[in-house]
Amino acid sequence: MAEAPRDYYGMLGVRNDATQEEIKRAYRKLARELHPDVNPDPGEQDRFKAVTTAYEVLSDPDKRRIVDLGGDPLAQSAGTAGSPFSGFGGGFGDVFEAFFGGGAATGGGRARRSRVRPGGDALLQMSLTLDEAAFGVRRELTVETAVVCTKCSGSGCAPGTHPRTCQTCGGRGEIQSVQRSFLGQVMTTRACTACAGTGEQIVSPCPTCGTEGRVRARRTITVDVPAGIEDGMRIRLSGQGEVGPGGGPAGDLYVEVSEQQHDTFTRDGSDLHCTITLPVTSAALGTDLVLTTLDGEEKLDIRAGTQGGAVLTLRGKGVPRLRSSTRGDLHVHVEVRTPTKLDDEQERLLREFAALRNEEVAVGSKGGSLFGKVRDAFGGR
């Protein structure tokens, strides 16, 4: 079943009767939001390619005319997706060419399909410690991708041989035929199946790659991780991905960072958080602690009377901000530990301390302590 033609107007968010200036403004607005240099989200990169394609189609008067007639100028000629004339063999493009000129009707034809095509992107995972992510690191990684076949240098031919002109299509990469329809005789054009539309045939394939012009191989690459990179971010290495068929230009390699959990710190962007636990005596009297940060040992002044839940902030002791000379902060969260077991002497001293501070438990109406009052309220249980 044929797919519906692409909604090029919808891709740009404009009306079908939009002027060229409105189409251009809509594209520029979307390009500023979606360009890979501004928005590194891989999902948005696909959308950027889609709106760029839509702009290229709608800015071309001939292609826009095809869209307005209900067709898709970028669809394949055989059984063009979404074309109302797809049932006539060659698709809407052939009918359009036959009635309005161009293509086979004028002897121009389609461009031959190149054997050399761009390669795809590749994705690699890399695990980093907090220190490596914070201050950056240089790593050597082993990757396995398609590379140019060294035996044939990407030609796909056995050494000493060359492709020959396709004998089926005569090097045009297409086959023309005349079909009868209720409109009369219609000339249609299809890609040549003998040469896959390239116009050339490889008689003596390369013994290593078998006409592909590429082979899979392992290689070592160097990755420079910038300081301040975060979990889930990707580093783009241009031209380090998969080499395309026929030795075509390689795609990009994306290295996705996975940050390991740290024993002491948790990370929130460029800020770090950690928790220290103090005895109630240290929190009351104050003390000095030595905290090991990312930069080394740091003296921490715990003031007398520090309460549980307090947060002490060490400015500039967090993670460097990506592509910046500034750093985040280190937030130290304080927990106060109350003793759960006291011996007789400790309990006596603590009660004396409470008495000195007038913190003796309140006395109830029956002469008992507040705890006794609560106990009486529950029937002495």
pLDDT digits 0-9 by tens, 67-121: 887 778 876 433 333 333 333 334 444 434 433 334 433 334 456 788 888 999 9
Are 336 and 284 in contact by the 8 Å Cβ rule? The answer is: no
The pLDDT tens digits of the residues spanning 164-211 come to 999 998 888 888 877 776 556 677 788 898 888 889 999 999 999 999
Under CATH, which number does the domain 266-337 receive? 2.60.260.20
Instruction: Please state the pTM of the whole predicted model.
Output: 0.60
d(CA 101, CA 106): 6
Other residues' Cβ atoms within 10 Å of the Cβ of residue 163: 18
| Average pLDDT rounded to a whole number, residues 286-295 | 94
| pLDDT at position 373 | 39
Are 273 and 260 in contact by the 8 Å Cβ rule? The answer is: no
The pLDDT tens digits of the residues spanning 65-79 come to 888 877 788 764 333
Query: Model confidence at 137, in pLDDT bands (50, 70, 90)?
Result: very high
Burial of 300 (0-12, 13-18, 19+ CB in 10 A): middle
Are 58 and 10 in contact by the 8 Å Cβ rule? The answer is: no
Beta strand pairing call for 214-225 and 174-181: unpaired
CATH topology identical between 112-163+202-260 and 266-337: yes
Domain positions in the chain are 112-163+202-260, 266-337, 344-377
Answer yes or no: is pLDDT of 380 > 60. no
Question: Which residues contact residue 89 at a Cβ distance below 8 angstroms, ignoring those fewer than 6 apart?
Answer: 78, 177, 179, 186, 188
CATH class of 112-163+202-260: mainly beta
